[in-house]
Amino acid sequence: MTVAGFGITTIGISVIAVVDLHASTMHVALIAVAGKLPALLLSLHAGVIADRYRKRPIIITCDVLCALTLSSIPLAQSVGQVTLGQLYAVAFLVSAFQVVGSNASISYLPTLLRGEQLKEGNAKLGATNSLADLTGNNLGGLLVTVLGAARAIALDAFSYLVCAVCLLTIRHREPEPAPRPAGSSQWTEIREGLDYTLQTPVVRSIVLSNATTSFALAASSALWSLYLLRELSWSPTALGIVMGTGGVGGLLGALLWRRWERRWGAGPVMITALAINPLAQIPLVLVDPGTAGQAVIGVCLLIQTGAAVAHGGLQRSVRQELCPAHLQGRAQATGAWLAFSLRPVAAFLAGVLGTLVGLRPALGVITLLLCAPFVVLWRSPVRGMRPSTVPAFGTEPAPAGAGSSSSTP
């Protein structure tokens, strides 16, 4: 529900900023910066919170706070007008609650599932999220057109409340968190998560490739909606429909990555997915306005998102199975922090670049940046990971020739 609602709000905020408030390129980029700052500021602390306390209450609390924050937009619209300052604040606060809640949510899954069940759980969650993303993006453009952006965002607020109610129905009793050593500080616990992530070769290489991917995509997303709405003269409905094709691709990627992993292995699947990313981005900077360009971008977005979801589900399962239970929250948070900490900088630099050279050339530079994650993972131990079950809890795949079909060079 929250994923579907997020698609509506993404389009709604873009339309309010670009169409209603006539925001400049830099203002649109700054909204993106505000939405990405919490990942830099809060991710590591969110990991400590998830490991110190039961995770389900954390997720529910964050969902309720997101609903209240988003409700401020339709409320402001009903008594006056939404301002750019409010859009900055809403983008920041919702992102902050999502950082804490999402980290708890992802690290909650390994307490419910193990081994092959964990992989299947990640695959099904990926499929569900992609289906919700498809629904949200397609509905987003339509609802923004029919209801107006502010009223459409109210539906996103409602989706968070529905999610909180659904979580209350889970009957599984979450185990008590591991007791903290006497005198342990929050910074000591953060350091443990950093040390684990940076000293585990497979995990380190996956996280570094994710960080470079995140930087490039943050820069792209800061300009994406503005470019399509202004440069290519797309309507909000067209934007929602084309973005919805990404949901179709994500659904296919989520349904197929387990089959691909069993056949070719985790390493080749993740590396191939990263190779597809920049190739599928190229048409974005080449097409002209019109229906044909919308169709081309839609097909490429379908392929790109399918590859991204396959890569995301697989790398998350690998990292979760390698991680000791008492570090799940901090390991997830460390990976998120390293991946997302530079996203505000990326969004800001994208705004500067787009202002100086124009939106299309700026997106061309960003497309070249998407080659970097492939290079990082290709030169890492992940390349040698072949079909097998990933070793569990703190172990690494055996070297080639050591009797294991899962190897790292």
DSSP line for 42-54: HHHHHHHHHHHS-
Q: What is the pTM of this model?
A: 0.63
Average pLDDT, the chain: 78
Provide the number of structural domains found in the chain. Answer: 1
- Cβ pair 203, 396 in contact under 8 A: no
Q: Helices 266-281 and 201-226: crossing angle, nearest 10°?
A: 20
346 in any annotated domain: yes
166 in any annotated domain: yes
**What is the tens place of the pLDDT at every residue in 172-193?**
777 676 666 666 677 788 888 8
- Coil, strand or helix: which one is 407? strand
pLDDT value of position 263: 83
Which residue type occupies 40? L
Which residue has 């009797």 as its token pair?
403
Mean pLDDT (whole number) for 402-409:
31
DSSP category for residue 205: H
pLDDT value of position 2: 47
Which residue type occupies 56? R
- Coil, strand or helix: which one is 207? helix
Phi/psi region, residue 358 (left: phi>0; alpha: psi -120 to 50; beta: rest), is left
**Structure-model confidence comparison of residues 134 and 385, the more confident one:** 385
**Structure-model confidence comparison of residues 258 and 274, the more confident one:** 274
pLDDT value of position 408: 29
326 in any annotated domain: yes
For 242, residues 6+ apart whose C-beta sits below 8 A from its C-beta are 228, 234, 294, 297, 298, 301
Tokens representing residue 215 in the block = 């930087």
**What is the tens place of the pLDDT at every residue in 195-246?**
888 888 888 888 888 888 888 888 887 887 778 887 787 777 777 777 777 7
DSSP category for residue 180: P
- Cβ pair 46, 371 in contact under 8 A: no
305 in any annotated domain: yes
CATH number for the domain including 218? 1.20.1250.20
**What is the tens place of the pLDDT at every residue in 128-164?**
665 555 555 556 666 777 777 788 888 888 888 888 8
Task: Count other C-beta atoms under 10 Å from residue 94's C-beta.
Answer: 26
122 in any annotated domain: yes
- Cβ pair 210, 339 in contact under 8 A: yes
77 in any annotated domain: yes
Rounded distance between C-alpha atoms, residue 217 and residue 208, angstroms? 14
403 in any annotated domain: no
* pLDDT bucket at 399, cuts 50 / 70 / 90: very low
**What is the tens place of the pLDDT at every residue in 321-351?**
777 777 878 887 888 788 777 777 888 888 8
Rounded distance between C-alpha atoms, residue 351 and residue 162, angstroms? 35
Cα Rg of the chain (Å, integer): 21
**Structure-model confidence comparison of residues 113 and 145, the more confident one:** 145
Domain of 213, in residue numbers: 2-170+188-394
197 in any annotated domain: yes
